[in-house]
Amino acid sequence: MCGIVGYIGFRSVSDLLLEGLHRLEYRGYDSAGIAVLADESIVVRKRAGRVSELAALVQTQPVEGTIGIGHTRWATHGGTTDENSHPHVGGNGEVVIVHNGVIENYDSLREQLTALGYVFHSQTDTEVVAHLLAHSYIEQLKLVENSDTHAAALKAVEATLTRLKGTYGICALFRDATDTIIAARSGSPLVIGVGRDEYFVASDASPLVGYTQEVVYLADSEIAVLRRDNMSITHRTSGSVQPSIQTLEQVSSDIELGDFPHYMLKEIYEQPKTIENALRGRLDDEEGTAVIGGLNLTPQQLRSIDRVVLTACGTSWHAGLVGEYLLEEFARLPTEVEYASELRYRNPPITERTLVFAITQSGETADTLAAMRECRRKGHPTLAICNVVGSTIAREADGGIYLHAGPEIGVASTKAFTSQVTVLTLLALYLGRMRHLSYPAGKRICRELRQMPEKIEEALKCHDSVKEIAEKYAGFDNYLYLGRLYNFPVALEGALKLKEISYIHAEGYPAAEMKHGPIALVDERTPSVFVVPRCGIQPKVISNMEEVKARKGPVIAIACEGDREVERIADDVIYVPEVAEYLQPLVCAIPLQLLSYHVALLRGCNVDRPRNLAKSVTVE
């Protein structure tokens, strides 16, 4: 959840760390801090609040150096205070660390360290690791030849990690090892940027963009020792590791706002392009099928599959629900969608003919990763639908499909959702053509998919009308979102977006289920947002709209252009282009994203950095 950045080289480190923390702030923004090795001491600057407040502190209390680490926090242990902010100092200043993750046995370790005389100044689990590192370092100095500070520092890290239970991504500076950063991970991502006489380390690649195009993704149980002129990586059990240097494909424009006021709006408007990217090279019009490389399963193996399990969290889970409809309709494959946080602790009857897909934007979601590992442990083919190249899930899955959506900085997911739905549509087409889907049907689906970037451009034209509707309803504190079949997951996603960034209570339901309980909530102050484009059961949804109107509930409808019946009933209508039913989630998601965006702005909320949330949930 938190963001880590570090640098060793020849550049002035404070500004570089602050820039990196700004880029990582979507991972956590409760507090921020930096530690710089300067004049044979480690200087720490940290503050509760946003990175901008830390930057103001550093401007008034500057610190110079060319080696440093930084951190932006999403609180797990201890409240949002200066004392709980990272970095944390160990012992008498021998070591300073930043940490992402949760140390599950920190209570017992804290008791042991307190008995040894260590004094704690925070409520965090991280300070326990800092003191334990300092203690181990002092012990190792007595054992290593000639009191070699660098050897002692590495051995201290190795000894400390053996005592930790939980997850961590850690960067450490040792006061006496003046030209070294040590980084280690288990369950929390770290990526190393390789430069000329300089190295970078971060929780993800965004701080490295513009500085280097060569990166190394640390794997679990690996420890990296970074010096200005070299890098070495060891595995805690198997020894030395030859780094696998990969090319970083991101460019500066991917992480810059451009002319947009917020990342969320920028990413909403990127969706015609991201859907085009998801489709590029993956449609075979001649054969009426999809072209999907990377599944690492033969056609014979795929034809033998008789069940699919999709596992995910949050927005990705909603995309999975759309995928369930798609796979069952096109491929006639029984499909289940599981919350990863539940699947990881269950023991469901999954056979060797079940195909498991983990769906994730970041590729680092802790619950999704754990669920995927559990399925792989039991021998099931486990694939990934993922956006981030080099992420843990992408590397550990047996195969998978990349979204190619580019970095998603806004905490509330937008373009990742539509890219996931697009890829799931391709997957359903691919498996369908292997099984029961006819050639003419496959040709038609290919043709309709190719039109989707243009259809999304049309859907974005609703922006001005959505803004007007948001002004009308921004003061309401409870919403219902209702849809059926393919548009039921869209209703869930629309409600989630409103909750995430507007802090408004909203619930998504199948429209027909409204009268089985939720209709009791309907009154003049509870708008109902109906996702009701033309489809086979549209008359049923219109009947549900009438039931809300009869109880004086305001109705906002997402409908196809020119739909007079919906227009007659609804108080306000947002129009989207008409597409095939299975593609309606793509166009209907757009106005719901824009509605949540504008309601949040009108209520004075930070749309890119909503309270209590972080982009990538890397802790349980």
- Which are the catalytic amino acids? 2, 615
Residues 6+ apart with CB under 8 A from 547: 514, 515, 519
Residues with Cβ within 8 Å of 155's Cβ and at least 6 positions away in sequence, in order, are: 136, 140, 143, 144
How far is Cα 360 from Cα 268, in angstroms, rounded to an integer?
18
First to last CA, the chain: 10
Look at residues 110, 107, 176, 168 and name the one whose alpha carbon lies nearest to residue 144.
176
Residue 247, H or E segment = strand 246-247
Q: How many Cβ atoms are within 10 Å of 537's Cβ, its own excluded?
A: 15
The token duo for 295 is 């599944």
Instruction: Compute the distance between CA of residue 21 and CA of residue 40 in angstroms, rounded to an integer.
Output: 24
| Cβ(338)–Cβ(371) below 8 Å | yes
d(CA 489, CA 33): 40
Residue 615 and residue 271 in contact, taking contact as beta carbons nearer than 8 Å: no
Which one-letter DSSP state was computed for residue 187? B
DSSP result, 480-502: EEEE-TTHHHHHHHHHHHHHHHH
In which element (H, E) is residue 558 found?
A: strand 555-560
What are residue 32's DSSP bridge partners? 47, 72
> Strand 230-235 relative to strand 191-194: parallel, antiparallel, unpaired?
unpaired
User: What's the rounded Cα separation, in Å, for the pair 316 and 418?
Assistant: 10
- Is residue 1 within 8 Å of residue 100, measured between CB atoms? yes
Say whether 351 sits in a helix, a strand or coil: coil
Structure tokens at 316: 């990705």
Q: What are the CA-CA distances from residue 182 to residues 66, 250, 507 (Å)? A: 15, 25, 46
SS3 375: helix
Residues 590 and 459: their CA atoms lie apart, in Å, by 7
Taking Cα atoms as reference points, which of 467, 401, 409 lies closest to residue 254?
Answer: 409
DSSP state string for 541-553: HHHHHHHHHHTT-
The tokens describing 593, both together, are 């994203």
Contact of 490 with 588, CB cutoff 8 Å:
yes
Q: Which amino acid is at 523?
A: D
Helix (H, G, I), strand (E, B) or coil at 47: strand
- How far apart CA 285 and CA 270 sit, in angstroms, is 25
CA distances from 303 to 308, 436, 441, 592, 595 (A): 12, 11, 19, 37, 42
Rounded distance between C-alpha atoms, residue 401 and residue 299, angstroms: 16
Would you say 559 and 592 are in contact if contact means Cβ atoms under 8 Å apart? no
